[in-house]
Amino acid sequence: MAIDGLIILDSAGRPIIQSGFHSVPPAYPILHIDALNNALSAASRPDDVDPVLSVPSLTIDAPSACCHAKVADMRLLCPISGDVDPLYAFAFMQTFVDILRDYFGQLSAETLKENFDVVYQLLEETLDSGGHPLTTSPNALRDIVLPPSLLNKVLSVAGVSGLATPLSNSQPFASPIPWRKAGVRYNNNEIYFDVAETLEAIINKNGTPAASNVWGRIESNCKLSGTPDLLLTFSNFQSLTDCSFHPCIRLQRWARDKTLSFVPPDGHFKLMEYRYAPASASTMHQVAVPFSLRSSIQLQEHGGSFDVTLSSRLTTRAMDSVTIELFLGEGASGASCISSHNASWSFDLRTLTLKWELKNVQPSGNYTLRGTFTSTTQIPRPSRAFRVRFDIMQHTFSALKIDQLKLAGEMYKPYKGMRGRSAGDIEWRW
């Protein structure tokens, strides 16, 4: 029950960094890289390649599978052999990517190449050569692998590396709580909660939702000294369902009285995820979509014309960075549009997608896009739905409120902050 290793490929399918693969023949990782590259080049859309590829092996009795996922401009792949859960591999890849983001910020093949020594150390610490993930909690990792920092670079240029490397904490893993560092000290004790909710919905032609779900997550940034024991209560927890939690949450306590009792990790972490289900049965799955979209699309030979109107249903809030996308079908060759309010539009020849961007949609505002497109195929077949994405700041669909936050185990009074943020990813059929 373990994964065989991790390989990171650049956009051209060449390996940038890979783990040791000590217990398998050297050809093993190469076979997997080839299998993936072949599958990708054979597929008409790279997104449609099955995420678990069966890879024939050198020995007859041990075929293996290759789990892969796209991350920024790279692809991560995890060969597994034997009856291993592919989800285990995907979960590890996700964790590793999160760690890399934590260390390097924005990810790209270039960043990893520049910091390859740190990436290698991280890989060694997070994945045992037997394939068992080891230390993946960012709190513990920062003790044993130093993040690249300006200070380190300055010191190394000055030639005094001796100062930069010795560990500040000679007893790593001394903390009795695996996810929290021991001996954290802050001058200002603060904790922030970000509630981010995403509305995912499919809207039928007549404007009624076929399916709609609100997925929420609470991310936290904790800067508290010592070992704080927190007790968090929500004012309207009833509408939260399907919750999943950071391991620090005491599950029994949640089951008993729906309060979150936990000793938080230090720094950024994802406290919980949930699905918002409105309490009354009649409105089940019926979170209102904050806009309406009217469209008329006429298809002709080698092209078509369209007229799209987006109206905000919000009365007080504005929507930010609204993008409306329409795939114009194979063979689409160009488009020309007129948009109201000087909003920008573009047609991407690579993805054959028309994109209309509205930076700010005012409450109850109406926005239109008119235009035509051309296609090399005789009967163009654009996709049957628009994809609309938007953000609403300072707002949550569930109106989730933190009732109170109690702190035990430490003497100080922390500063608490909470803010909401909503996003939407709507498929609007026409």
Find the binding residues for other proteins in span 34-73 (CB under 8 A): 45, 47-48, 50-52, 54, 59-63, 65, 67-69
Residue nearer to other proteins on the CB measure, 330 or 403: 330
Residue 301 CA: distances (Å) to CA of 239, 304, 308, 373, 377: 50, 7, 20, 11, 8
Among 130, 207, 334, 363, binds other proteins (CB under 8 A): 130
H/E element holding 192? strand 190-203
* Minimum distance from residue 26 beta carbon to other proteins (Å): 8
Contacts of other proteins in 172-211 (CB under 8 A): 172-174, 178, 200, 202, 204, 210-211
CA distances from 339 to 11, 225, 329, 351, 358 (A): 35, 53, 21, 21, 10
CB 36 within 8 A of CB 68: yes
* 333 near other proteins, rule: CB under 8 A: no
Cα–Cα dist 319/366, whole Å: 12
Hey, what amino acid is at 407? L
Task: Supply the minimum distance, in Å, between the C-beta of residue 160 and other proteins.
Answer: 9
Query: Does residue 213 touch other proteins according to CB under 8 A?
Result: yes
Render the burial of 194-210: b for 16+ CB within 10 Å, e for the rest: bbbbbbebebeeeeebe
Listed ranges 257-265, 313-321, 359-367, 380-388: which one lies at the site for other proteins (CB under 8 A): 380-388
Q: Which residues in 276-295 contact other proteins (CB under 8 A)?
A: 285
Closer Cβ to other proteins, 182 or 318, answer by number: 182
Query: Does the footprint of other proteins cover residue 107 (CB under 8 A)?
Result: no
Nearer residue to other proteins within complex by CB, 135 or 312? 135
Contact region with other proteins (CB under 8 A), list: 79-87, 182-190, 340-348, 358-366: 79-87
Q: How many residues bind other proteins (CB under 8 A)?
A: 104
Of residues 240-259, those binding other proteins (CB under 8 A): 241-247, 251-252, 254-255
Q: How big is the CA angle at 40 (ends 36 and 42), to the nearest 5 degrees?
A: 115
Between the two ends of the chain, the Cα-to-Cα distance in Å is 47
Residue number, 189 or 306, with CB nearest to other proteins: 306
Q: Closest CB to other proteins among 192 and 254?
A: 254
Contact stretch for other proteins (CB under 8 A) within 33-41, 166-174, 407-415, 416-424: 166-174
Instruction: Report the residue from 11, 38, 41, 82 that binds other proteins according to the rule CB under 8 A.
Output: 82
What is the Cα–Cα distance from 234 to 96, expressed in whole angstroms?
Answer: 32
- Find the helix or strand (DSSP H, E) in which 373 lies: strand 366-375
Alpha-carbon span 27 to 21, nearest angstrom:
10
- Identify residues 132-151 at the interface with other proteins (CB under 8 A): 132-134, 136-137, 144, 146
Position 297, amino acid: I
Q: Is residue 320 near other proteins by the rule CB under 8 A? A: no
Q: How far is CA 361 from CA 149, 262, 338, in A?
A: 40, 40, 17
Give, as ranges, the residues between 7 and 26 that touch other proteins (CB under 8 A).
16-17, 20, 22-25
346 SS3 class: strand
Distance CA 264, CA 227 (A): 8
Q: How far is the CB of 130 from other proteins (least distance, A)?
A: 6
Question: How long is the chain?
Answer: 430
CB of 208 to other proteins, least distance (A): 10
Please, which residues bridge with residue 404 across strands?
A: 233
120 binds other proteins (CB under 8 A): yes
- Minimum separation from the CB atom of position 123 to other proteins (A): 9
Amino acid (one-letter) located at 350: R
Minimum Å gap between C-beta 15 and other proteins is 8
Collapsing DSSP to helix, strand or coil, 31 comes out as helix
Q: Phi, psi at residue 118, to the nearest 5°?
A: -70, -40
